[in-house]
């Protein structure tokens, strides 16, 4: 009986070491598989039996296969939607056929023909949709950027920086009323462009007229903002004044000029409704620049644009925006200035942008995906979800580096990258296999030696049985 047990012990040992070779072979074959986690066989002795009050072992068995949870190294990728998890966690996928959740360490994601972000096996990547401030909305959904566009935003702010030549002769607007078609009624003109609500560029011309000096010896200038009549429902080819005192009831009403400065006995006594005053250092001392209401034609919404000629030294009575608050004063040299070196438009800046299509995506360390559009805008779209498990090593492997929840793995905990002990995201990266090829070859040699030794046990036991059978002869 004892000799027979030795034969079975050797046989069981050969089975255990054979299983170990199978695991090592699987590790080696996946040395280049993205996100693969190597495995190791854990051996344990077989329950001993009592014989003549002695405990005799019954050999070895493979108790379990343990997964190495160590992180693999990262390799660089040229795809902006390729991601690697620097730390703990698994990407969350949704199988479009079964509707079941899947989990993986492999972030080789790409947009399919419907613009949904999918993994290499075709499952949908899960994440939270983000609002314009980057805050998550609702629960996790398929990451889908189909139909995502950047809607045009009309200009609401116009910064103008000009050099006005003070050597010109003043024009009394009461004597010579402003007329854009008559160059003798103004001194200089600067041309700028703004965007309407449809993202169409519209030309605006700003005309500057030196009115004279006020009682303090400051140089007073009136300005007029004009556009082609076709832009505002007027007559094409006829420059039309942009109404600045509120939305007109009809397009014809925008032809009304703003109130001009008043001159008495050669001195400016009252400033107009659109006036710039410069001190004897050439600095903008007073800015009166109300917002301009523009009833754009062609289906665009009514626009409101705030002109800004700089931060005046003493009085800045522009209506203002968040970028240029009302009443902000400054050096008086960052916009319009007075000079004697001739007229020049130094700069003109506007906000707003035309509509744009999604060009590419960027991913930050928190897994937030930003859309980069053809109009230069950058907007948050989604944030990828990560999952953790009480025992990740017990997940069921389904092939293609994809796993599903099992009864022994515990339930998934879904959270955002960087939260709840989860790792952060490294974009333009893919996690490689964590298999140590040199270590696997060493393990193979050790297992081979164990297999050979146990085969000798079988051979020796067989020889002993042959000897036993030969005693009868």
Q: Is 393 exposed, middle or buried (0-12, 13-18, 19+ CB in 10 A)?
A: middle
Let me know: does 228 contact 235? Beta carbons within 8 Å.
no
Is the confidence at residue 16, as pLDDT, over 50?
A: yes
How confident is the model over 15-42, as a mean pLDDT?
86
- Check residues 440 and 50 and name the one with the higher pLDDT: 440
Alpha-carbon span 454 to 264, nearest angstrom: 119
Residues 6+ apart with CB under 8 A from 191: 203, 204, 205, 206, 345
Alpha helices per DSSP H over 136-270: none
**DSSP line for 354-368:** --EEEEEEEE-TT-E
Is the confidence at residue 247, as pLDDT, over 80?
A: no
Residues 6+ apart with CB under 8 A from 250: none
- The string of pLDDT tens digits covering residues 343-401 is 999 999 999 999 999 999 999 999 999 999 999 999 999 999 999 999 988 899 888 88
pLDDT band at 251 (very low <50, low <70, confident <90, very high): very low
Residue written as tokens 């879904």? 414
Please give the distance of CA 242 from its chain centroid, rounded to a whole number.
39
Give me the CATH topology for the region 157-350. Answer: Tick-borne Encephalitis virus Glycoprotein; domain 1 (2.60.98)
Is the confidence at residue 434, as pLDDT, over 90?
A: no
- The string of pLDDT tens digits covering residues 173-194 is 999 999 999 999 999 999 999 9
pTM: 0.74
Quick one: which H or E segment has residue 91? strand 90-94
Specify the domain boundaries for CATH 2.60.98.20 within the chain: 157-350
Let me know: does 363 contact 427? Beta carbons within 8 Å.
yes
pLDDT band at 52 (very low <50, low <70, confident <90, very high): low
Is the confidence at residue 254, as pLDDT, over 50?
A: no
233 SS3 class: coil
Is the confidence at residue 421, as pLDDT, over 50?
A: yes
Task: Report CA-CA distances (Å) from 270 to 12, 51, 275, 329, 472.
Answer: 108, 121, 10, 21, 138
């Amino acid at each position: 009986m004892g000799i027979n047990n030795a034969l079975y012990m050797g046989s069981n040992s050969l089975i255990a070491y054979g299983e170990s070779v199978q695991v090592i072979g699987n590790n080696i074959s996946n040395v280049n598989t993205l996100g693969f986690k190597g495995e190791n066989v854990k051996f344990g002795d077989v329950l001993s039996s009592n014989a003549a009050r002695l405990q005799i072992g019954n050999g070895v068995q493979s108790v379990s296969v343990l997964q190495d949870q160590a992180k693999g190294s990262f390799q660089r990728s040229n795809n902006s939607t390729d991601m690697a998890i620097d730390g703990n966690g698994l990407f969350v996928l949704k199988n479009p056929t079964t509707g079941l959740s899947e989990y993986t360490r492999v972030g080789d994601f790409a947009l399919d023909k419907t613009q949904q972000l999918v993994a290499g096996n075709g499952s949908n990547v899960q994440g939270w949709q983000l609002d314009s401030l980057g805050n998550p909305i609702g629960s996790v959904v398929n990451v889908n950027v189909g139909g995502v566009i950047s809607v045009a935003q009309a200009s609401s702010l116009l910064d103008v920086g000009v050099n006005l030549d003070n050597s010109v002769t003043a024009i009394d607007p009461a004597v010579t009323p402003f007329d854009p078609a008559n160059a003798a009624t103004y001194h200089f003109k600067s041309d700028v462009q703004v965007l309407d609500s449809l993202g169409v560029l519209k030309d605006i011309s700003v005309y500057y007229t030196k009115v004279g000096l006020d009682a303090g010896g400051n140089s007073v200038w009136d300005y007029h903002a004009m556009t082609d009549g076709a832009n505002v429902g007027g007559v094409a080819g006829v420059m039309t004044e942009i109404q600045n005192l509120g939305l007109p009831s009809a397009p014809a009403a925008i032809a009304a000029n703003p109130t001009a400065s008043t001159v008495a006995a050669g001195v400016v006594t009252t400033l107009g409704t659109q006036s710039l005053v410069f001190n004897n250092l050439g600095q903008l001392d007073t800015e009166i620049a109300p917002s301009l209401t523009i009833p754009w034609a062609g289906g665009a919404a009514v626009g409101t644009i705030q002109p800004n000629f700089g931060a005046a030294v003493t009085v800045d009575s522009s209506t203002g925006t968040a970028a240029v608050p009302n009443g902000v004063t400054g050096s008086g040299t960052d916009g319009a200035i007075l000079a004697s070196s001739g007229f020049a438009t130094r700069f003109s800046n506007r906000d707003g942008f035309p509509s744009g299509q999604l060009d590419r995506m960027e991913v930050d360390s928190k897994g937030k995906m930003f859309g980069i559009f053809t109009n230069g805008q950058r907007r948050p779209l989604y944030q990828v979800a990560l999952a953790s498990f009480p025992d990740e090593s017990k997940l069921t492997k389904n092939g293609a580096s994809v796993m599903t929840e099992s009864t022994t793995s515990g339930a998934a905990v879904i959270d955002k990258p960087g939260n709840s002990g989860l790792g952060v995201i490294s974009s333009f990266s893919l996690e490689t296999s964590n298999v140590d090829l040199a270590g696997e070859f060493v393990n193979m040699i050790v297992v081979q030696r164990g297999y050979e030794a146990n085969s000798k046990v079988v051979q020796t036991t067989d020889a002993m049985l042959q000897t036993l059978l030969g005693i009868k002869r």
